[in-house]
Chains A and B, each alone.
Chain A
Amino acid sequence: MTPNAIEREILIEAPAETVWSVVTEPGQISRWFSDVAEIDLVPGGEGTLTFADRATNQRATVRLLVESVEPPHRFSFRWDHPAGVKPDESNSLRVEFTLAAEGRSTRLRVTESGFDALNRPQDEKTAYFDAHSKGWDTHLGSLRDYVAGRS
């Protein structure tokens, strides 16, 4: 796992096709992810995830752009870029699901990456952070190891 990414996985006692449906079908997505989901499930397809904040009773919509759709193995998208802007590495995070059969079960792995770019402060700090990003990565890694060791 690179410090720029979060990677989690889980073993599911179901065939990959079943897991794929749950991960990618809007009607299912609204049961495990956002409150409402609309996705055009093709590479380059657009989608929105709407979250309702129960505390404030406000709704927030997050945009996504589908990257790859390879049933039942891989599904990836970029999300949370500003409206009317094409998502890229500087303004969005990349989420990738991979599914791998293990006997009669399926290992589902999710990777969310691109935090470095989003963390980078604007203009006056950019050059500084570029020059020292390696050190920052190292430090984030040690912070995380430390937290992981304690929890």
Chain B
Amino acid sequence: MSLGVPESPRRAQPREGEDELLWEAVAEPSRRRVLDLLLARGDATPTMLAAELPFTRQAVAKHLAVLTRAGLVEGHRQGREVHYSVRPERLNAAAQAMADVAARWDVRLGRIKHLAEERARAGQEEPPGPR
């Protein structure tokens, strides 16, 4: 997921290829519904997901395959069925760009607070103008 021009120092630097895969994986609305439901459930089989979505089990399985390729979910076999769960570190990567921007503003606001409070204290100790 690219947030803009790479020369801009305040934005996350997109990692080409890997980000493209993430973006494609979450760009399709039906796939996002699968991902959202999986997030809510924590762990589910394609059959369980299909029961709660207006998609066939086969369609759900295809979406899960794309999400697995992008590294957003992982499957693990339990008995006869494959259970899927979200890989939180990869979801973090998908949301990282927005989070980075927010974190930068937090740092800037913190600096503004420090500068303004320093000024305010200096102003109280030494009132401006002649006595």
Contact = CB atoms under 8 A, between A and B. Distances in A.
A108 B111 CA distance: 12
A8 B104 CA distance: 10
B115 A112 contact: no
A46 to B, nearest CB: 17
A10 B95 CA distance: 23
B101 A119 contact: no
Contacts of A32: 108, 111-112, 115
Interface string B101-131: 1100110111111011101100100000000
B9 A18 contact: no
Interface residues of A, number: 45
A136 B109 contact: no
A60 B7 contact: yes
Nearest to A150: B88
A126 interface: no
Contacts of B117: 12-14
A144 B98 contact: yes
Main secondary structure of the interface of B (DSSP, over half): helix
B105 A8 contact: yes
Contacts of A136: 27, 29, 32
Given A6-B102, A19-B112, A14 B119 contact: yes
Q: How many residues of B sit at the interface, in one of the four size bands? A: 35 or more
Contacts of B1: 119
Main secondary structure of the interface of A (DSSP, over half): helix
Interface string B23-63: 00011010010011001000000000000000000000000
Nearest to B101: A6
Given A10-B110, A12-B117, A18-B120, A142 B39 contact: yes
B29 A146 contact: no
Given A6-B105, A115-B98, 18 more contacts: A6-B102, A8-B102, A8-B105, A9-B109, A10-B113, A12-B112, A12-B113, A18-B116, A22-B112, A22-B116, A28-B115, A60-B9, A62-B8, A112-B101, A125-B27, A142-B36, A144-B99, A146-B39
Interface of A: 6, 8-15, 18-19, 21-23, 28, 31-33, 51, 53, 60, 62, 80, 106, 108, 110, 112, 115, 118-119, 125, 128-129, 132, 135-136, 138-140, 142-144, 146-147, 150
For the complex of A and B, 9 pairs with smallest distance between CB atoms: A14-B120, A32-B111, A14-B116, A135-B29, A51-B9, A10-B109, A143-B95, A139-B32, A8-B105
Interface of B: 1-5, 7-10, 26-27, 29, 32, 35-36, 39, 88, 91-92, 94-95, 98-99, 101-102, 105-106, 108-113, 115-117, 119-120, 123
